[in-house]
Amino acid sequence: MRGPLDHFRCYSADGANVDAPVWLRDQFDTDNRLVEAQFLFCNPVQKTHGGITPINNPDDHLFFYGLGPRPPAPVRLVTVSNQFGEQALTIGDLLFLAVPTQKEGHPAPLPGLDHFKCYAAAGPTIGATVDLQDQFNSDTGVPVAAPFLLCNPADKIHNGVVTSIADPVSHLVCYDSIMPQPHSGVFYRNQFTPALAGADLSEARLLCVPSLKESVSTPTATPTATPTATPTATPTATPTATPTATPTATPTATPTATPTATPTATPTATPTATPTATPTATPTATPTATPTATPTATPTATPTQTPVAPPPPPPNPCVATSPGTSSAVSHDISLDGLRGTGRIRDSQAKTYTALVTNHNLIGAEDIQVCFVVVPLFGCSAPEIDVALPYDVTPLDPDTSFVDVNGDGTLDAVARAVAHGVLPDRTERVKATVLYSSCPPPPGFQQTALDYIVQVDACHQGDPATKGFFEGACPGTPDGGNDPNKINDAPIQKAIDNVLR
């Protein structure tokens, strides 16, 4: 009988590129994605932290695969609770699919272990130490640092097979928990690799803890009132003459002398008393204050500031300017791996090696390689220096800063070319990434994943429908077509730690 969801201890893995399309649905959204390179292999683990949490399902294992492409995801604020207490997490892009996996020497997991869609997470550092015992190692005093991933149970459809969510309540929060002891490798099988296959493992990387999701919200961006770039015409400040309050003279009411009738004994004609002509007070002609004819304030003719069109974005060096050609000639080019991933330090230069193979037995081939570094959580894109003889522009800077993912953030892109790779030979194309300090932006905690390093390869001039080339492979078409486009999808590996 299946027990509750276990804790998992996850190791960095370097295995095959699956390149399998899947349909996924979880409590956030529904996606059609491409399952790409392996990233982590996870054992169930016994954890001791204020008590022992034993392993409930010893046959449960998970393999984490990178997912592409990565359209920008809305920022979500999620509250979770687990044995480390209640935590507020900021959730970003969808990065991985965790797949139930059978490990050699174990039966397949019992029904009920879910697939998980795993998103980049940022939140407060736990700052605890725990004791861990799994099928590879037993360690005491293992540090548990910042959250790295939030994993939701997910429905999956692959090759017409529907795998539904068994336990919609149980989630995983994976924390940065690095221990240097490597383990050499593991043999496994799952829905993407039905035959027994091997993967190389290195350091213990994450501790994934069963968690409950308490709440989810998506912050609404409040638009800030931005003044219009065109200034309003301001009137010239000429004061208008205000009439002086001079009162108009009001006539004084002086009574007119009324003639008094004096009776005369003798009817002598007495002149009628003529009223004395008392002049009525005539108002003094005080001119009413007429406003001075001040010209109406005419707005100064300030020329309208026509917004200057922003310069066009720089071209993506990994996008061809011509559509490419096709012919009956077969060219089988594969991208076999990306080496050099691991922890990075402040202001570190780190070299990566893309392994590309010419499987064509007819002749030598030029293989185009594209290196892309995607910054996360506010980091800036670093410079990329392509090693000779693979540098396409040896006298110019190798890096172009292009918004590859359409999320408004510039990514670092550099193109290389392996010239004349002989039949059935593998070329090691190298590039060095020059990292600089990346403190967390305001409101964010340090995270376990600040950059993703990606690489893609194709046969020069061929049409390509996947990967960063976004169309035909760059370079001059030589009349060849690459039928093995399944290997033209990007292999993605993540840098393991935040810059300190």
Task: DSSP for 395-443, please give it.
Answer: TS---EEE-SSSSS--EEEEEEEEEEEPTTEEEEEEEEEE----PPPTT
**β-pair partners for 413:** 372, 400
Specify whether 192 is located in the same domain as 340: no
Prior bond of 111 cis (ω within 30°):
no
As a whole number of angstroms, the distance between CA 497 and CA 500 comes to: 8
Of 184, 217, 250, the one marking the end of a domain is 217
As a whole number of angstroms, the distance between CA 447 and CA 462 comes to: 39
As a whole number of angstroms, the distance between CA 183 and CA 11 comes to: 8
Of 164, 197, 217, the one marking the end of a domain is 217
Measured from the Cβ of residue 395, the count of other Cβ atoms closer than 10 Å reads 5
Specify whether 209 is located in the same domain as 357: no
Asked if residues 386 and 394 have their Cβ atoms less than 8 Å apart, the reply is no
Domain with 59 in it: 7-217
pLDDT value of residue 273 = 42
- Residue 261 within a domain: no
- Residue 500 within a domain: no
- Residue 69 within a domain: yes
Specify whether 211 is located in the same domain as 348: no
- Residue 394 within a domain: yes
How many separate domains does the chain show?
2
Instruction: Give the DSSP letter of residue 488.
Output: G
Measured from the Cβ of residue 136, the count of other Cβ atoms closer than 10 Å reads 18
pLDDT value of residue 199 = 86
CATH number at 391 reads 2.60.40.10
Specify whether 341 is located in the same domain as 480: yes
pLDDT value of residue 253 = 41
Asked if residues 13 and 39 have their Cβ atoms less than 8 Å apart, the reply is yes
Burial class (CB in 10 A: 0-12, 13-18, 19+), 280: exposed
Count of helices and strands (H, E) across the chain: 0, 24
Q: Is 486 helix (H, G, I), strand (E, B) or coil?
A: helix
Of 217, 233, 249, the one marking the end of a domain is 217
Question: How distant is the alpha carbon of residue 326 from its chain centre?
Answer: 36
- Residue 18 within a domain: yes
pLDDT value of residue 320 = 64
SS3 content of the chain, % helix, strand, coil (to 5): 0, 45, 55
- Residue 253 within a domain: no
Residue 197: which H helix or E strand, with range? strand 197-217
Going residue by residue through the chain, which has 500 residues, state the pLDDT in tens, using 9 for 90 and above.
Answer: 899 999 999 998 876 678 889 999 999 999 899 888 788 899 999 999 989 999 999 999 999 998 876 667 788 999 999 999 999 999 988 889 999 999 999 999 999 999 999 998 989 889 899 999 999 999 999 999 889 899 999 999 999 999 999 999 999 999 988 787 666 789 999 999 999 888 888 788 899 999 999 999 987 655 545 444 444 444 444 444 444 444 444 444 444 444 444 443 334 444 444 444 444 444 444 444 445 445 555 555 555 566 666 666 667 777 765 555 444 345 677 777 777 766 676 677 888 888 888 877 766 778 888 888 888 766 788 999 998 888 887 777 889 898 877 777 888 999 898 887 887 888 889 998 888 777 665 655 555 567 888 888 877 666 655 555 556 676 665 555 555 554 454 555 555 544 54
